[in-house]
Amino acid sequence: MNPLLHLRLMTEGDLPFADSLRAVVGWNQKPHDWQRLLAYEPQGCFVAEWNGSPVGTATTTRYANEVAWIGMLLVHPDHRGRGVGRALLERCLQSLRGTRCIKLDATPLGKELYVKLGFQAEWPLTRWETQCLDVHGDSPALAAEAGGQSPAAAGPLETVCHPASSTFQGGLRLRPWKVTDASRIEPLDSGVFGVPRTRMLELLATQSSNAIVSTDEAGRVNGYGLLRQGSRAFYLGPVAASSSEAGVTLIRTLVHQVKGHPVFWDIPDANQAAVSLVKELGFTPQRPLLRMFIGNNEHPGNQERYYALADPSIG
């Protein structure tokens, strides 16, 4: 490793730098995303320094010892091509030793590096965007304070707004997210995502401006969806559902809360119901991403029931 390059653990004090680097590359996360990543994995988030100044970041997120994610791999444009990205990635892999499968959602720039370190392609996905969401029809009967604010203008955590009451859409009952729901949805979510991630869902729900659960007539959970603020657009996800009817209804309900605002939405290309809906709602593709893995991919999940990712940095 170049003697000018030094890697160390990320601390709370690094978050302003980390978020400024995120802004340089134009990604959509906010400080609360960094805070969540660091709170979840304080021994697994890293900063690269070049000659004593911070120039790069990377995070890891472990789901038991089965699967882990590498995310937020960022190197300042002035310091690229010097081995900083490779060193950060190697440090992440070292800290995740013992994990059966390590995954990430690669940008085209990152893919070149990951292939060199042995990552294989799993499946493609696409980041879709709309600058002004235009949805027609009656607004579902859910409270929606966050829809009146732009993501940039609203504060990070104080705008938590969950639906005030239940509503019926066809045979589905939509209701507000409850604090116990991360555990209740675990059987559904782990089948879709691949492994349980209850604690991460609890944290994401706390940071979401809208969070809803759908159940069938017998009260069985058949889907859930979250939506939170980003720095450039509202971020739709994660959304998982056991039927396309539930997935589509959850998404229509969530996006109704933010009509008129920019929204980003990451969708596995294989989820045809979500791809049809995103086109119908007038989104356009922003960039391709590629889910990649290294190790033993024993728990791939079900991309056809994954309607919206949680974030490319955590799956």
Ligand X SMILES: CC(C)(COP(=O)(O)OP(=O)(O)OC[C@H]1O[C@@H](n2cnc3c(N)ncnc32)[C@H](O)[C@@H]1OP(=O)(O)O)[C@@H](O)C(=O)NCCC(=O)NCCS
Cβ 144 to ligand X, closest distance in Å? 33
Nearer to ligand X, 80 or 220 (CB): 80
- In this structure, are residues 284 and 266 in contact, taking their beta carbons and an 8 Å threshold? no
Would you count residue 110 as binding ligand X (CB under 6 A)?
A: yes
Cβ 41 to ligand X, closest distance in Å? 17
Cβ 34 to ligand X, closest distance in Å? 15
Judged by CB under 6 A, the number of residues near ligand X is: 18
Nearer to ligand X, 10 or 212 (CB): 10
Number of other CB atoms surrounding residue 6 within 10 Å: 15
Nearer to ligand X, 112 or 280 (CB): 112
Nearer to ligand X, 84 or 212 (CB): 84
Would you count residue 315 as binding ligand X (CB under 6 A)?
A: no
Helices 31-40/15-25 angle, 10° precision: 130
Question: In the set 15, 106, 133, 278, which binds ligand X (CB under 6 A)?
Answer: 106
Instruction: Return the residues of window 3-42 that contact ligand X according to CB under 6 A.
Output: 25
What is the rounded distance in angstroms from the CA atom of residue 48 to the CA atom of residue 181?
Answer: 37
Instruction: Return the residues of window 203-232 that contact ligand X according to CB under 6 A.
Output: none
Token couple for 91:
């440090």
What is the rounded distance in angstroms from the CA atom of residue 262 to the CA atom of residue 85?
Answer: 31
Selected range binding ligand X among 3-11, 112-120, 171-179, 210-218, rule: CB under 6 A: 112-120
Cβ 182 to ligand X, closest distance in Å? 27
Nearer to ligand X, 111 or 259 (CB): 111
Selected range binding ligand X among 110-118, 193-201, 222-230, 238-246, rule: CB under 6 A: 110-118
- In this structure, are residues 144 and 135 in contact, taking their beta carbons and an 8 Å threshold? no
Question: In the set 83, 156, 191, 288, which binds ligand X (CB under 6 A)?
Answer: 83
Would you count residue 250 as binding ligand X (CB under 6 A)?
A: no
What is the rounded distance in angstroms from the CA atom of residue 148 to the CA atom of residue 234?
Answer: 12
Nearer to ligand X, 26 or 155 (CB): 26
Nearer to ligand X, 107 or 222 (CB): 107
Nearer to ligand X, 74 or 248 (CB): 74
Instruction: Return the residues of window 61-80 that contact ligand X according to CB under 6 A.
Output: 73-75, 80
Would you count residue 107 as binding ligand X (CB under 6 A)?
A: yes
Would you count residue 81 as binding ligand X (CB under 6 A)?
A: yes
Cβ 189 to ligand X, closest distance in Å? 24
The residues binding ligand X (CB under 6 A) are 25, 73-75, 80-86, 106-107, 109-110, 112-113, 116
